[in-house]
């Protein structure tokens, strides 16, 4: 129905943006490499616009259907980012580099957005999963996705919380994060380092979630290379100021040619005390 499209300003804006990207690909791309990059961004934009996306992982019996609200969510959490897809696949493999299978672990997903990574952890048999985000509209979307994929009511196993990085209010959840971080085995952080003004907050928060005494804990930080020198400097500060062991994990099995940017997967741990 033609009228429906005309009355949909979001669809109009999206169509205009896609046209813009296509024009950019034709006129601005000076090399085949540029053209490839612009085409990948257009693909990503197309994926973000889909109202739902279905993810199938061989380790999980049923498909995971994720509702996206790319423009309706106030911050960036309305779509599934490639880093979340790579991190989800790493969780499915559950190799020794992430401390083995997710089954039985207590997991907290920071900046969960649509909650894909939290849902994957829960489907893999985590003992508990807390999906968290600072943006209220993302929290609502995460809760809907968690509900639609098997946990319609919050329970002890899967829960969704509003948590703004570095803000520890008096809610039992944030108190536990701050006061008993050892209760969490695995922290997930997919595509959270795109804004370098947040690096001091992230550095401080990672230090609270993974204090030096929590030598059994891991934080998996997955992100695309948007500005390598800036991101590398953040890794240096995690090592030098934060005192973390920073280990780069191999993403080759999960990086695909349709992803807009190269993906990085970093595991943060605390040095284990030397045996006496
Ligand atoms: C690029 S999205 C990534 C979402 C999801 N992890 C993924 O990869 O699909 C970044 C997420 O971090 C959240 N976020 C940004 N700043 C935050 C803050 N200061 N406190 C809590 N969450 C924040 C946003 O709301 C958004 O959901």
Q: pTM (2 decimals)?
A: 0.89
Residue with CA closest to ligand 1 atom 16: 134
Q: Which residues line ligand 1 (CB under 6 A)?
A: 75-77, 80-81, 83-84, 111-114, 116, 133-135, 138, 164-165, 190-192
What are the C-alpha distances in Å from 54 to residues 13, 35, 85?
A: 24, 28, 11
Kindly state the tokens that stand for 81. Answer: 């980012």
pLDDT, residue 3, reads 35
Q: How far is the CA of 115 from the centre of ligand 1 (A)?
A: 10
pLDDT, residue 56, reads 98
pLDDT, residue 74, reads 84
Which ligand 1 atom lies nearest to the CA of residue 134? Answer: 21
Domains of the chain, with CATH numbers? 1-49 (no CATH), 51-269 (3.40.50.150)
pLDDT, residue 200, reads 98
| Rounded distance between C-alpha atoms, residue 59 and residue 53, angstroms | 18
Which ligand 1 atom lies nearest to the CA of residue 194? Answer: 1
Q: What number of residues does the chain have?
A: 276
Among 64, 66, 77, 140, which residue has the most ligand 1 atoms within 8 Å of its CB, making it the best to mutate?
77
For the chain, which residues score pLDDT lower than 70? 1-16, 18-32
Among 133, 146, 177, 208, which residue has the most ligand 1 atoms within 8 Å of its CB, making it the best to mutate?
133
Q: DSSP letter string over the chain?
A: -HHHHHT-HHHHHHHHHHHHHHHHHHHT--SHHHHHHHHHHHHHHHHHH-SEEEE--TTSSS-EEEE--TTTSSSSTTS--HHHHHHHHHHHHT-GGGTS-STT-EEEEES-TT-HHHHHHHHTT-SEEEEEES-HHHHHHHHHHHHHTT-SS--SSEEEEE--TT---SSHHHHHHHH-GGG-SEEEEES--S-GGGHHHHHHHHHHHS-TT-TT-EEEEEEE-SSHHHHHHHHHHHHHTT--EEEEEP-TTT--TTSSS-EEEEEEEPPPPPP-
Residue with CA closest to ligand 1 atom 3: 191
Among 86, 91, 107, 134, which residue has the most ligand 1 atoms within 8 Å of its CB, making it the best to mutate?
134
Beta pairing partners, 246: 268
């Amino acid at each position: 129905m033609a009228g429906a499209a005309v009355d949909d300003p979001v669809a109009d804006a999206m169509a205009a943006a896609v046209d813009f990207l296509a024009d950019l690909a034709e006129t601005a791309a000076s090399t085949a490499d540029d053209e490839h990059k612009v085409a990948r961004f257009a693909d990503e934009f197309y994926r973000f616009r889909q109202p739902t996306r279905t993810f199938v992982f061989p380790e999980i019996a049923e498909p995971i259907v994720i509702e996206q609200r790319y423009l309706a969510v106030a911050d960036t959490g309305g779509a599934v980012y490639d880093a979340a897809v790579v991190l989800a696949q790493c969780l499915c493999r559950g190799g020794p580099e992430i401390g083995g299978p997710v089954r039985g672990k207590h997991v907290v997903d920071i900046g969960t957005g649509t909650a894909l990574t939290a849902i994957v952890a829960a489907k893999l048999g985590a003992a508990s999963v807390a999906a968290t985000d600072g943006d209220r509209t993302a929290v609502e979307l995460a809760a809907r996705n968690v509900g639609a994929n098997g946990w319609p009511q919050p329970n002890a196993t899967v829960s969704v919380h509003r948590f703004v990085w570095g803000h520890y209010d008096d809610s039992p959840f944030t108190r536990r994060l701050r006061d008993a971080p050892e209760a969490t085995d695995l922290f997930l952080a997919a595509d959270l380092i795109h804004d370098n003004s947040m690096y001091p907050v992230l550095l401080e928060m990672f230090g609270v979630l993974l204090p030096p005494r929590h030598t059994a804990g891991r934080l998996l930080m997955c992100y695309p290379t948007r500005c390598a020198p800036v991101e590398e400097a953040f890794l240096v500060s995690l090592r030098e100021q934060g005192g973390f062991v920073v280990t780069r994990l191999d993403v080759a099995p999960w990086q695909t040619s349709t992803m807009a940017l190269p993906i990085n997967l970093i595991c943060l741990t605390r040095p284990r005390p030397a045996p006496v």
